[in-house]
Amino acid sequence: QAGRTDEAIVLLEQVVADRERLLGENHPNTAATRTMLMAWNRGSGTG
């Protein structure tokens, strides 16, 4: 649904935290999710 960018960012922040805890900060999947979060933040004007 359109207009739910803020909710998506909150969920991605949770996923990044979980992946850092489970996989480690330097794991490729953690890095990919962090990159996705940065893109969403840039797109929403908050990052």
Domain extent, residue 37, equals 5-44
pLDDT digit string, tens, across residues 1-47: 567 889 999 999 999 999 999 999 999 999 999 999 999 998 877 66
Per the CB < 8 A criterion, the answer to whether 32 and 22 are in contact is: no
What pLDDT, on the 0 to 100 scale, is given for residue 16?
A: 98
pTM over cut 0.75: yes
The tally of domains found in the chain comes to: 1
Per the CB < 8 A criterion, the answer to whether 16 and 30 are in contact is: yes
